[in-house]
C-alpha cells in the first residue's frame, strides 16, 4: 500500500496546524512540533503497526544493515535493532524537504497511535508565535524556513506526548 499524504502547517518550529481530511484544501486546528533523535528501534518497526505491507525498517546497531526480523529487540532494550542513520531529513528542493517523525497520541490532534504508522503528512513552516501558560511568548519558525514545506512519514509513536503536540521530527542531535 502506498502511503497517502495529509497536509499539516507548521506555524512555528514548535507549532503545526492539521489539515481537515474531509476537505483536502481546508487547514484546521493549531498544534506544535519538536525534534528528537534517540537511536532506539522505531515503534512502527514492530509487526502489526499501521495499514502497511511491512513494518518500518530498523537497522543493526553494529553493522548498519537493515534488520530483516521485525521482532529483533531494540537497542534501548538490549537488542540490536536501531533507527537507521538515513532516517534524517533531506532536501528535495529549495522549498521542500522530506523526513520522518514520531506522532503524538493524545487524539486531540487527529493522531491516535499505532494506526498512524506509515502515514505521511505535509508540514508548512510559518512565523506564528504562542504564549505559554505564564504568558511568555515563544516559537516562530526560523526565518530561513518560513514558507517552506516538509513531508514526514510517521515511523514512531510518542505515547508519552500529550496535549496539542503533533509531531516529533527526527533530526540527528535534536532532543538531547
Q: CA–CA distance from 61 to each of 18, 27, 93, 100 (Å)?
A: 34, 40, 31, 19
Selected catalytic residue, list 60, 68, 160, 168: 168
Angle at 136 between CA 107 and CA 30, to 5 degrees: 30
Query: Is 68 an active-site residue?
Result: no
Secondary structure of 26-91 as H, E, C letters: CEEEEEEEEEECCCECCHHHCCCCCCCCCCCCCEECCCCCECCCCCCCEHHHCCCEECCCCCCCEE
How many angstroms separate the CA atoms of 70 and 82, rounded? Answer: 11
C-alpha to C-alpha distance for 66 and 136, rounded to whole angstroms? 45
Residue 33 is placed in which grid cell?
Answer: 512540533
The grid coordinates listed for 67 are 534488520
Query: Known catalytic residue: 168?
Result: yes
- Given the residues 23, 38, 114, 160, select the one marked as catalytic: 38
CA-to-CA distance for 50 and 135, rounded, in angstroms? Answer: 39
Give catalytic residue positions: 38, 168
Amino acid at each position: 500500500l502506498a502511503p497517502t499524504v495529509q497536509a499539516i502547517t507548521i506555524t512555528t518550529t514548535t507549532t503545526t496546524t492539521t489539515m481537515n481530511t474531509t476537505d483536502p484544501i481546508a487547514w484546521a486546528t493549531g498544534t506544535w512540533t519538536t525534534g528528537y533523535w534517540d537511536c532506539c528501534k522505531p515503534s512502527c518497526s514492530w509487526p502489526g503497526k499501521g495499514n502497511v505491507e511491512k513494518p518500518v525498517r530498523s537497522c543493526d546497531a553494529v553493522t548498519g544493515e537493515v534488520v530483516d526480523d521485525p521482532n529483533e529487540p531494540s537497542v534501548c532494550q538490549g537488542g540490536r535493532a536501531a533507527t537507521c542513520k538515513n532516517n534524517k531529513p533531506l532536501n528535495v528542493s529549495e522549498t521542500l524537504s522530506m523526513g520522518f517523525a514520531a506522532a503524538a497520541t493524545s487524539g486531540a490532534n487527529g493522531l491516535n497511535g499505532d494506526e498512524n504508522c506509515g502515514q505521511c503528512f505535509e508540514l508548512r513552516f510559518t512565523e506564528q508565535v504562542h504564549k505559554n501558560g505564564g504568558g511568555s511568548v515563544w516559537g516562530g519558525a526560523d526565518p530561513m524556513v518560513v514558507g517552506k514545506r516538509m513531508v514526514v512519514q510517521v515511523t514512531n509513536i510518542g505515547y508519552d506526548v500529550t496535549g496539542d503536540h503533533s509531531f516529533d521530527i527526527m533530526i540527528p542531535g535534536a532532543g538531547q
